[in-house]
Amino acid sequence: MAGERFYLPTEIVTGAGCFGELGRLARRFGRRALVIGSRGRLGLLERAAGLLTEAGIEPAVWAEVQGEPTLSAVEEARARAREAEAEVIVGIGGGSALDAAKAAAGLAHQPGAVADYHRGRRLEPGRNLPFIAVPTTAGTGAEVTRNAVLIDPERGVKESIRDDSWFPALALVDPELTLSLPPAVTASTGADALCQAIESYVSIGAGPLTDPLAAEAIRRIGRSLARAVEQGSDLAARSDMLYGSLLAGMAMTNARLGAVHGLAHPLGARYGIPHGTVCGLLLPYVMAYNLPAAAERYARVSALLGIDVSSLSMEAAAEQGVARVRALFQQVGIPSHLAPYGVTEDAFDALAAEALAQSSLHFNPRPLQAEDVRAILASAL
Ligand SMILES: [Fe+2]
């Protein structure tokens, strides 16, 4: 496509404490709400229910999101939404909870089974419920994207349902909600956020509207990831991370991603590696593969990560960025090899075929054939 299409219809409210505005902001969407999240954040879900009640909205709570969402989890959440006659869905949590809630809202009144739409059935317009997204991790940026990643255990497939009508109506982005995240989750979700920022910055779908968003995301996440992991109560570091992942989400939903995300889905589906972990693990290897095709872009990434590139050639500057990402991920405890997860060479052919079918892969700055994907996997083994 010549030119750049930038589409983001979500109202975004940011600021420490903005979660307290949930009731007031939700009122325009209806009188009955379903709050979706996981049991681990039950206290927060109940606080949301209280805020909604105070605003005259009748809340129901479905706290059964467990790990990355499966088709049956969404089927259950959707049934709960119908039963509660919800007029708005509120998703609270990390990427898994937000994607489950987004899919429940997007499929709320579609006539088919959730699995049908995962297999490509067309969505009928006007059958969504409005969706409010409240992220509690600085990771996926799901509060500003049009897709939900869902797992079909039967087919062993992890793929998105994606539609322009699935953008949240409202995102409440409150860094206070991330203060209690444990260090390991801060690290893996933050690795996903940095990966999304860098992939959308070097994507062939990047353009003048997404570049400043991705660049600022790289700058904020690069300077604050280690601090947020090591000093979780630091609100400034948490704000950098959450706004960084928000900006990366705004960039990637328009610029799209790259080979890391193309590979992350099959690896995640087959070996159960958490999304952020697999993204962080793969990012330095994919950057190294991409360097010859996008040295100038990666040199700018290095500068955004705080490296003084003034006396370096473009290639040397780009290489230093890879080293910086590797060192940063090592510092926060992101694993650097796939073998400990049970990945073996005899799975490479199947993984390469599945990765090549992922849309993300086609936005990678250096094109990949099956042998290139196998080589990346071999380097990461
Ligand atoms: Fe991601």
Q: Single out the residue in 178, 208, 236 at which a domain terminates.
A: 178
Whether residue 158 has pLDDT greater than 90 = no
Residue range of the domain that includes 295: 183-380
Q: Is residue 260 included in any domain, yes or no?
A: yes
User: Given this model, what pLDDT does residue 156 score?
Assistant: 86
Domain C-terminal end among 144, 178, 212? 178
Strands 88-93 and 32-36: parallel
User: Does some domain include residue 2?
Assistant: no
Average pLDDT (46-69) is: 97
pLDDT digits (tens, 9 = 90+) for 340-354: 999 999 999 999 999
The answer to the question of residue 189 being in a domain is yes
Q: Residue 4: which pLDDT band, with cuts at 50, 70 and 90? A: confident
Instruction: Point out the domain boundary residue: 158, 178, 198.
Output: 178
Does residue 3 carry a pLDDT above 90?
no
* Interval 304-331 mean pLDDT: 97
pLDDT tens-digit series, residues 273-286: 999 999 999 999 99
CATH number at residue 72: 3.40.50.1970
| Residue at 142 is within a domain | yes
CA 206 to CA 52: how far, in whole Å? 39
The pLDDT of residue 1 is 52
In a domain, 3, yes or no: no
Mean pLDDT of the chain: 97
Same domain flag for 160 and 234:
no
Q: What is the mean pLDDT of residues 81-86?
A: 98
Q: Flag whether 6 is in a domain.
A: no
pLDDT at 221: 98
Are 133 and 257 members of one domain? no
Mean pLDDT value of segment 183-212? 98
| Percent of the chain's residues with pLDDT above 90 | 96
Residues 142 and 162 grouped into a single domain: yes
Same domain? For 345 and 293 the reply is yes
How many Å lie between the centroid of ligand 1 and the Cα of residue 220?
A: 17
Mean pLDDT value of segment 220-239: 98
> Domain holding 350: CATH number?
1.20.1090.10
Q: Does residue 5 form part of some domain? A: no
Q: How far is the CA of 190 from the centre of ligand 1 (A)?
A: 10
Positive/negative CA dihedral, 216, 218, 223, 225: positive
Q: Give the distance (Å) from ligand 1 centre to CA of residue 346.
A: 26
pLDDT band at 196 (very low <50, low <70, confident <90, very high): very high
154 and 216, same domain (yes or no): no
Token pair in block for residue 324: 């910086």
Distance in Å, CA 140 to ligand 1 centroid: 5
Number of folded domains in the chain?
A: 2
Ligand 1 centroid – CA 221 distance (Å): 14
Which pLDDT belongs to residue 250? Answer: 98
Same domain, 165 and 211: no
CA of 56 to the centre of ligand 1 (A): 36
pLDDT at 36 over 90: yes
* Gap from CA of 51 to ligand 1 centroid (Å): 30
Residue 41 lies inside a defined structural domain of this protein: yes
In terms of domains, do 44 and 145 share one?
yes
pLDDT reading at 129 higher than 90: yes
Find the 18 Cα to ligand 1 centroid distance in Å. 25
Residues 289 and 321 in one domain: yes
pLDDT at 146 over 70: yes
121 and 201 assigned to the same domain: no
**Do residue 149 and residue 244 come from a single domain?**
no
Residues 172 and 231 in one domain: no
Same domain for 125 and 242, yes or no, is no
